């Protein structure tokens, strides 16, 4: 397959590149796929003409993996128009192009499509009800994709993504604890962290799976995160425990930490669908956090 991956500089895009490169090195590429990784400089998803120009000037793809997004949740409140272009209109255009090229589309979405008010873990069929601009634009992207591609596409909703790359909760906590002796972290928002390398591995397994490769498959949504349910406070505590940092962490409420965008209180997602359909093994969040932090240490 000739595979286009957007977001070559983002956490997930970089994690996919790293896994593909590692698989190639050990001769583990089951099929001879050709990967093309693009960033904003090659394909600007906020611009309809840039998207048309890119696909008009390149050979056809068999699969598009869309990891790019406007991901700044607070900034999206002020810039919903731009977020909508990238998270919704670009996805719609990619779906239309994928249809024309008879390509598959694998698109990444978010737990923030939910309002977080459910008392139980969200399944893929639960009704979304975003409570912030980022969530609204991501949901519009999902809906546009499903309307244009009732077949041959797949959406993965993930949550609390972190990695050894760029800014994320883990790197922010490590930076803050070097600058301050005491930190306050919210303890009443619950979810599941996702190590981007694990999600990258799952994506690469899925695209090799017969159930994905067979033509004419109905478009489906799948949830994916690491196993385990925690608050941001518990996440921070574990980061400091692994790093052996004696930083005081105060447990605070969302009310004590106001942000421009509202956050859903509970976005734990059920993952049995992705496990059963694609036989994906999911690691516990503590195990994956340890792996990521070991890699971060080696980089220092």
Ligand X SMILES: NC(=O)c1ccc[n+]([C@@H]2O[C@H](COP(=O)([O-])OP(=O)(O)OC[C@H]3O[C@@H](n4cnc5c(N)ncnc54)[C@H](OP(=O)(O)O)[C@@H]3O)[C@@H](O)[C@H]2O)c1
In the complex, the residues that contact ligand X under the rule CB under 6 A are 7, 9-13, 39-40, 43-46, 67-71, 86, 108, 110-111, 138, 158-161, 166
Cβ nearer to ligand X, comparing 9 with 58? 9
Which residue number places its CB atom closest to ligand X? 10
Could you tell me the smallest distance in angstroms from the CB atom of residue 191 to ligand X? 9
Angle (CA) 6-110-69 rounded to 5° is 30
The distance of closest approach from Cβ of residue 47 to ligand X in the complex, given in angstroms and rounded to an integer, is 7
CA pair distance 236, 248, nearest whole angstrom: 11
Nearest to ligand X of 195, 212 (CB atom): 195
CA distance 136 to 31: 37
Q: Supply the minimum distance, in Å, between the C-beta of residue 166 and ligand X.
A: 5
CA–centroid distance for 160 within its chain: 8
Instruction: Output the smallest distance, CB 32 to ligand X, in A.
Output: 26
How far is Cα 205 from Cα 284, in angstroms, rounded to an integer?
A: 18
What sign has the CA pseudo-torsion 280, 18, 190, 144?
A: negative
Q: Which of 245, 242, 249 is nearest to 288 (CA)?
A: 242
Q: List, in sequence order, the alpha helices (H) in 8-85.
A: 11-25, 48-56, 75-78, 80-84
Closest distance of CB 112 from ligand X, Å = 7
Q: Which is nearer to ligand X, 12 or 206 (CB)?
A: 12
Structure token pair of residue 226: 């690491």
**Are 233 and 249 in contact, with CB atoms under 8 Å apart?**
yes
Length of the chain: 300
Say how far apart CA 206 and CA 200 lie, in whole Å: 10
Measured from the CB atom, is 196 or 249 closer to ligand X? 196
In whole angstroms, the minimum distance from the beta carbon of 213 to ligand X comes to 23
Closer by beta carbon to ligand X, 55 or else 214: 55
Write out the two tokens for 28: 């583990």
Q: Which residue in this structure is represented by tokens 């962290």?
A: 193
Q: Which is nearer to ligand X, 122 or 214 (by Cβ)?
A: 122
Q: Is 181 exposed, middle or buried (0-12, 13-18, 19+ CB in 10 A)?
A: exposed
d(CA 117, CA 100): 39
Q: Which of 112, 134, 162, 233 is catalytic?
A: 134
The CA-atom distances, in angstroms, between 296 and each of 39, 111, 169, 210, 282 are 24, 26, 13, 35, 21
Active site residue 134: yes
- The catalytic residues are 134
């Amino acid at each position: 397959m000739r595979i286009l991956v957007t977001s070559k500089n983002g956490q997930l895009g970089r994690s996919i590149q790293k896994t593909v490169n590692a698989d190639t090195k050990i001769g583990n590429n089951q099929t001879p796929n050709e990967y093309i990784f693009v960033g904003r400089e090659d394909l600007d998803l906020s611009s309809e003409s840039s998207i048309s120009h890119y696909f008009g000037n390149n050979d056809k793809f068999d699969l598009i993996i869309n990891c790019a997004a406007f991901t700044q949740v607070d900034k999206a409140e002020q810039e919903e128009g731009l977020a909508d272009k990238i998270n919704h209109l670009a996805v719609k255009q990619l779906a239309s192009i994928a249809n024309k090229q008879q390509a598959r589309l694998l698109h990444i979405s978010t737990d923030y499509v939910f309002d977080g008010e459910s008392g139980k873990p969200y399944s893929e069929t639960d009704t979304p009800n975003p409570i912030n601009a980022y969530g609204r634009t991501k949901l519009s992207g999902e809906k546009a994709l499903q309307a244009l591609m009732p077949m041959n596409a797949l959406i993965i909703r993930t949550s609390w993504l972190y990695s050894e790359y760029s800014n994320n909760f883990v790197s922010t906590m490590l930076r803050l604890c070097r600058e301050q002796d005491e930190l306050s972290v919210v303890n009443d928002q619950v979810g599941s962290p996702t190590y981007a390398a694990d999600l990258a591995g799952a994506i690469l397994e899925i695209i090799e799976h017969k159930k994905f490769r067979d033509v004419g498959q109905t478009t489906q949504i799948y949830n994916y995160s690491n196993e385990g349910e925690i608050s941001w406070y518990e996440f921070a505590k574990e980061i400091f425990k692994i790093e052996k940092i004696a930083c005081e962490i105060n447990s605070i409420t969302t009310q004590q930490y106001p942000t421009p965008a509202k956050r859903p209180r509970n976005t734990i997602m059920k993952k049995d669908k992705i496990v059963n359909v694609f036989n994906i093994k999911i690691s516990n969040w503590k195990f994956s956090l340890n792996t990521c932090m070991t890699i971060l240490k080696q980089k220092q």
